[in-house]
Amino acid sequence: MVVTAILITGVSRQLGARFARSLAARDDLDVIGVDVLPPKYDIGRTRYIRADIRNAAIGRLLSGSGVETVVHLGMVSSPAETGGMAMMKEINVIGTMQLLAACQTSTSVRRLVVRSTAGVYGASPRDPARFTEEMTARVEPRSGFGRDAREIESFVSRLARRRPDLVVSVLRLAELMGAHTDSALAGYLALPVVPAPMGYDARLQFLHPSDAVTALELVAGADHPGTFNIGAADVVTLRQALAVLGRPAIGVPERLVAPVAAVGRRTGTADMSADRIDAVTYGRCMDTSRFAAATGFTPQYSTRAALEDFAAGLRPGRFRAPRLGQLAAGVIGSALGPARPAARAGSAGDRRA
Amino acid sequence: MIWMDDHRDDHEPNQDQQGRDQQGRDQQGRDHDQERPTEFARLLTELGGAAQRFLAGLRELPVEDLRTLGDDPLRELINLGARLGVDWSGTADELSEFVRRRMSGDYAVDEFGFDPEFTTTIVLPALRQLARTWFRVEVQGAENIPADGAALLVSNHAGGLPIDALVLQSVIYDEIERHSRTLGADLVFATPYAGDFARKIGVTLACQEDAERLLGNGELVTVFPEGFKGLGKLYSERYKLQRFGRGGFVSAAARARVPIVPISIIGSEEIYPQIVHLPALARILGVPYFPVTPLFPLLGVLGMIPLPSKWIIRFGEQIATDELPDGAADDPMVVYNVTDQVRETIQQTLYALLGERRGIFG
């Protein structure tokens, strides 16, 4: 049996581990997982190699193991994961540069998959309802993962020009959401009381991690060159999401949003960078039809189902919907109850007498 | 105040000829300064009459209900609403079920943020009252609104606040039970609450991508090509259509091969008679214009109550785009010609309707 070697970066993080575990269950693959930290999550039969992608040693690893497919998931989406913006930028940008340089010189690599994010589209009031892959951000993301991902994508397209024989796929993933998802946005939504931009109700689009893994498997296992948006088809609004999670929202006036977020970052309560704040203010949604047309992929989880899966893995909020809804229904029911005409006539008569 | 009496006598027959007359008068080079007080005198006289009628109507208000409001506010408000003709569209059970659903987030919004349940249950009933009772909207040519399939509805835009867009949406729903989807400026979506509300009732950003996506989904799409130029018109410029942008809406319709329905609205131009603009204040506030009307900002929020002008909305005959040659959407000449045709149709209909209307508040 021919065994294909596949290298996955970032296996100590949630998505990397999940993807590695799923691939390692197959017999025809030799799955090599790379990260600087030992895996926190179960990675199954993956061969873990402690390596830093910012180091040239990654090139020797590629040629030494005859790696055919490289799946780059080793980017950091939030500064809190690594301790600081500078570190995050270094891992995302310098790390990707090194890894891509190694791929370029390697003779064995013939397929490259790079994770990107919906954050490349930014979020602003000038956005169309859905972004297709050809569109660019109306307002460039100023900071954070979205901006790093734009740089990463530009390195990738340069590599694709220099090595036309490589099959390069870039997946722009929507925000991951599912049971026990550990991300900046998930941490924010799970706060006991959620500060939300006042007067805005952003459209949110999620992607369940199991769907993300399926999409990654599709591009890692067959040639699908190009850039693809990956996400569930539907949207929920921020207020709907908070209602589902049972989290009360406090409206934060526009001018106070940045200072409040800064306090959240300083205290480690919520790691909301400027680009994420824009996303929960103006909302963002991607058109995912190109990937569906190329691969026949349909997500198993809708945005709402992904959110409900996340809610199920979470401690129920104080304002759990059924409780609050029953309360409200009770109040209105008694106000409009069957005794309505009589009660009105009675009380009105009493007052006037 | 003398000029007021002066003109009360001579204006009687048809004040609404003004829109038409004015063009002629401009050509004759007649002095604008003299004309302005006349216009407002007429406006105020008519307003006086309308106020009298309103006060007469007010006497029929259920005063008892107001007196006992404090006892049980919610119940009394619902009862009062029912007495005043608000259709709560459902029993108490349905209403509480509705509230439960809303509070648990158990409702659907589409990719544009449109919330059909909220729109049909909360917004449209309120707008129906506004359209029927306040503006006494008269609809003409409803048979020209397509009952199914995509179409692009193009209308004039005026009145300081986009109330015409809301009324039009409500009227279309009442005629054919379809939600029309309006395209709005990006400023709307950058404004807290306004943008949120707009998305919930089905408005999305006026851009080629969204227009084509909506038309591709088979929706009715409403555009106001005049944009802020139309909304911010001064009272003296009423019923004179502004420039129709670059005709992007025609390209969108031609590409999707859907018909264009020209819509002429009269009445919307008198709800906030804008006397002057304060550009410096507008710049500070970051808004496209800051209007001064006879009541705003003089009376503050009260000054924002629209004047109860009489509205007529006429849906014109459909203009087909499927017979245009291939590539017409990208041909500036074709696009310009169709844009001009739509604009002319609306403008001529506006003049014709003004002739029909008895008076601003008639």
One domain for residues B71 and B187: no
Q: Say if B89 is an interface residue toward chain A (CB within 8 Å).
A: no
Contact B75 A340 (CB under 8 A): yes
- pLDDT attached to residue A81: 79
One domain for residues B164 and B193: yes
One domain for residues B159 and B259: yes
Q: How far is B358 from chain A (nearest CA, A)?
A: 42
Q: Which residues contact B209 (CB under 8 A, 6 or more apart)?
A: A128, A129, A130, A132, A135
Inform me whether the pLDDT recorded for B25 exceeds 80: no
Distance CA B287, CA A207 (A): 37
Q: Say if B286 is an interface residue toward chain A (CB within 8 Å).
A: no
The mean pLDDT value for A43-70 works out to 91
User: A23, A20, A22: which is closest to A3 by C-alpha?
Assistant: A23
Which of A131, A189, A205, A237 best tests the B interface by mutation, with the highest count of B CBs <10 A? A237
Written as six digits, the tokens of B80 are 């009062």
Distance CA B212, CA B215 (A): 5
Query: Residue B74's closest chain A neighbor by CA?
Result: A335
Using only C-alpha atoms, chain B has a radius of gyration, in whole angstroms, of 22
CA A283, chain centre distance (Å): 14
One domain for residues B223 and B74: no
Q: Say if A256 is an interface residue toward chain B (CB within 8 Å).
A: no
Residue A341 banded pLDDT, cuts 50, 70, 90: very low
What does DSSP assign to residue B325? Answer: P
Assess if residue B11 is contained within a domain: yes
One domain for residues B82 and B217: no
Of the listed ranges A17-31, A75-89, B173-187, B205-219, the one predicted with least confidence: A75-89
Stated as kind and residue range, the H or E segment containing A13 is none
Stated as kind and residue range, the H or E segment containing B258 is none
Q: Which residues contact B9 (CB under 8 A, 6 or more apart)?
A: none
Of the listed ranges A27-31, A247-251, B83-87, B264-268, the one predicted with least confidence: B83-87
- pLDDT attached to residue B179: 96
Q: Are A9 and A74 in contact (CB under 8 A)?
A: yes
CA B315, chain centre distance (Å): 14
Domain count, chain B: 3
Distance CA B115, CA B128 (A): 18
One domain for residues B342 and B227: yes
Assess if residue B322 is contained within a domain: yes
Which of B67, B196, B208, B219 best tests the A interface by mutation, with the highest count of A CBs <10 A? B196
Written as six digits, the tokens of A207 are 């992607």
One domain for residues B19 and B85: no
One domain for residues B153 and B171: yes
Contact B196 A200 (CB under 8 A): yes
The mean pLDDT value for A45-55 works out to 91
Q: What is the domain extent for residue B24?
A: 2-58
The mean pLDDT value for A124-129 works out to 96
pLDDT tens, position by position, B269-314: 999 999 889 989 988 888 888 889 888 888 888 888 899 999 999 9
Query: Residue A278's closest chain B neighbor by CA?
Result: B190
One domain for residues B39 and B78: no
Q: A271 versus B156: which is more confidently predicted?
A: B156
Vertex B82: Cα angle to B78 and B86 (nearest 5): 100
Assess if residue B186 is contained within a domain: yes
Conformational region of residue B227, where left means phi above 0, alpha means psi within -120 to 50, and beta covers everything else: left
Query: Residue B190's closest chain A neighbor by CA?
Result: A125
pLDDT tens, position by position, B57-66: 767 666 665 5
Q: What mean pLDDT value characterizes chain B?
A: 83
Which of A332, A350, A351, A352 best tests the B interface by mutation, with the highest count of B CBs <10 A? A332
Using only C-alpha atoms, chain A has a radius of gyration, in whole angstroms, of 24
- pLDDT attached to residue B85: 56
User: A74, A318, A313, A23: which is closest to A179 by C-alpha?
Assistant: A313
Distance CA A33, CA A27 (A): 16
- pLDDT attached to residue B333: 92
Q: Are B118 and B202 in contact (CB under 8 A)?
A: no
Vertex A90: Cα angle to A88 and A92 (nearest 5): 65
In the block, tokens 């993962």 appear at A145
Assess if residue B120 is contained within a domain: no
Q: What is the pTM of this model?
A: 0.83
Q: Say if B75 is an interface residue toward chain A (CB within 8 Å).
A: yes
The mean pLDDT value for B6-13 works out to 41
Residues paired with residue B295 on neighbouring β-strands, in sequence order: none
Assess if residue B287 is contained within a domain: no
pLDDT tens, position by position, A140-181: 988 889 999 999 999 999 999 999 999 999 999 999 999 999
Assess if residue B111 is contained within a domain: no
Give residue B82's identity as a one-letter amino acid code: A
CATH number at residue B338: 3.40.1130.10
DSSP strands (E only) in chain A: 4-9, 29-35, 47-50, 69-72, 111-117, 167-173, 175-176, 194-197, 203-204, 206-207, 226-230, 236-237, 249-252
3-class DSSP state of A183: coil
Residues paired with residue A286 on neighbouring β-strands, in sequence order: A131
Contact B100 A328 (CB under 8 A): yes
Distance in Å from the first CA to the final CA of chain B: 24
- pLDDT attached to residue A63: 87
Distance CA A197, CA A238 (A): 10
Distance CA A325, CA B193 (A): 24
- pLDDT attached to residue A342: 38
Residue B19 banded pLDDT, cuts 50, 70, 90: very low
Inform me whether the pLDDT recorded for A321 exceeds 60: no
Of the listed ranges A98-112, B47-61, B336-350, the one predicted with least confidence: B47-61
CA B224, chain centre distance (Å): 10
One domain for residues B52 and B67: no
Q: Say if A139 is an interface residue toward chain B (CB within 8 Å).
A: no
- Rounded to 5 degrees, φ, ψ at A312 are -65, -30
Written as six digits, the tokens of A87 are 């570190």
Tell me the helices (H) and strands (E) count for chain A, helix number first.
Answer: 14, 13
Assess if residue B17 is contained within a domain: yes
Inform me whether the pLDDT recorded for A329 exceeds 80: no
pLDDT tens, position by position, B98-111: 888 888 888 999 99
- Window B:182-211, CB contacts with A under 8 Å: 186-196, 199-200, 204-205, 207, 209-210
Residue B97 banded pLDDT, cuts 50, 70, 90: confident
Written as six digits, the tokens of B307 are 């004047």
Work out the number of other CB atoms within 10 angstroms of the CB of residue B242: 19
Query: Residue A287's closest chain B neighbor by CA?
Result: B111
- pLDDT attached to residue B26: 44
pLDDT tens, position by position, B337-357: 999 999 999 999 999 999 988
pLDDT tens, position by position, B221-259: 999 999 988 999 999 889 999 988 888 899 999 999 999
One domain for residues B21 and B73: no
One domain for residues B6 and B94: no
CA A97, chain centre distance (Å): 22
User: A232, A174, A238: which is closest to A203 by C-alpha?
Assistant: A238
Q: B31 versus A137: which is more confidently predicted?
A: A137
Work out the number of other CB atoms within 10 angstroms of the CB of residue A57: 15
Q: Which residues of A touch B204 (CB under 8 A)?
A: 129
Closest partner residue to B99 (CB to CB) among A240, A328, A347 is: A328
Q: Tell me what percent of the residues of chain A surpass a pLDDT of 70.
A: 89
Assess if residue B293 is contained within a domain: no
Distance CA B114, CA A242 (A): 18
Q: What mean pLDDT value characterizes chain A?
A: 88
